[in-house]
């Protein structure tokens, strides 16, 4: 990972510095931080960044957490498009129609439920789905997660998103 970080251009030095510090935010557990890396690096679709960060994340997460973080990226990749469309369309009929999309992994991911919600929120922030951001933030707050913790995950998502554009 250090070799990769050295390849980040000087104009993006802040991103490199932010990545290092954001992975040690006191508001997040190690699992929450690295799971956020996993789900968001998949969401930004940059193969080079994925290769480096997924390998590093594997050193910090067990298999089940990696699976759950990947599942969050996968399901939100679908849901964010569907629910963002419903939100953006001015036709109210779409909001009354069933999604008819399989979403079983939301119940069967096998990871920590709070962490999974946090990861879904981080991917939704990257994908720009306000309805999903609102929904997952609401669930997290109901489960006692603080605004500081939510924002800590979104910080990681923002840096991963920006890094994908420069590497």
Q: What is the pLDDT of residues 75-131, one digit of tens each?
A: 999 999 999 999 999 999 999 999 999 999 999 999 999 999 999 999 999 999 999
DSSP string, 86-119: HHH-S-THHHHS------THHHH--S-HHHHHHH
The pair phi, psi for residue 103, each rounded to 5°, is -140, 35
pTM: 0.96
Residue of 65, 132, 152, 159 marked catalytic = 132
Mean pLDDT of the chain: 97
Give the per-residue pLDDT at 96: 96
Give the per-residue pLDDT at 159: 98
Q: The tokens of 27 are what?
A: 């508001």
Active-site residue flag, 39: no
Give the per-residue pLDDT at 146: 98
Give the per-residue pLDDT at 27: 98
Give the per-residue pLDDT at 22: 97
Give the per-residue pLDDT at 17: 95
Using alpha carbons, select from 85, 162, 80 the residue that is nearest to residue 121. Answer: 80
Residue of 76, 129, 140, 145 marked catalytic = 129
What CA–CA distance (Å, rounded) separates 57 from 60?
5
- Least confident interval from 3-7, 58-62, 66-70, 83-87: 3-7
User: Does domain 14-166 bear CATH number 3.90.550.10?
Assistant: no
5-37 pLDDT tens trace:
999 999 999 999 999 999 999 999 999 999 999
Active-site residue flag, 120: no
Domain ranges of the chain: 14-166
């Amino acid at each position: 990972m250090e070799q990769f970080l050295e390849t980040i251009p000087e104009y993006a030095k802040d991103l490199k510095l932010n990545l290092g510090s954001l992975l040690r935010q006191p508001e997040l557990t190690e699992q929450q931080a690295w799971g956020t890396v996993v789900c968001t690096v998949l969401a930004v679709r940059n193969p080079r960044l994925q290769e480096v960060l997924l390998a590093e994340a594997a050193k910090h997460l067990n298999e089940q957490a990696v699976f759950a973080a990947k599942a969050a990226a996968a399901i939100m990749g679908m849901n964010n498009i569907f629910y963002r469309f419903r939100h953006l369309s001015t036709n109210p009929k779409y909001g009354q129609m069933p999604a008819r999309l399989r979403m079983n992994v939301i119940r069967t991911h096998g990871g920590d439920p709070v962490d999974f919600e946090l990861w879904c929120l981080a991917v939704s922030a990257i994908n720009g789905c306000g309805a999903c951001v609102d929904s997952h933030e609401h669930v997290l707050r109901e489960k006692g997660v603080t605004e500081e913790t939510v924002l800590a995950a979104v910080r990681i998502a923002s840096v991963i998103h920006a890094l994908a554009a420069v590497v």
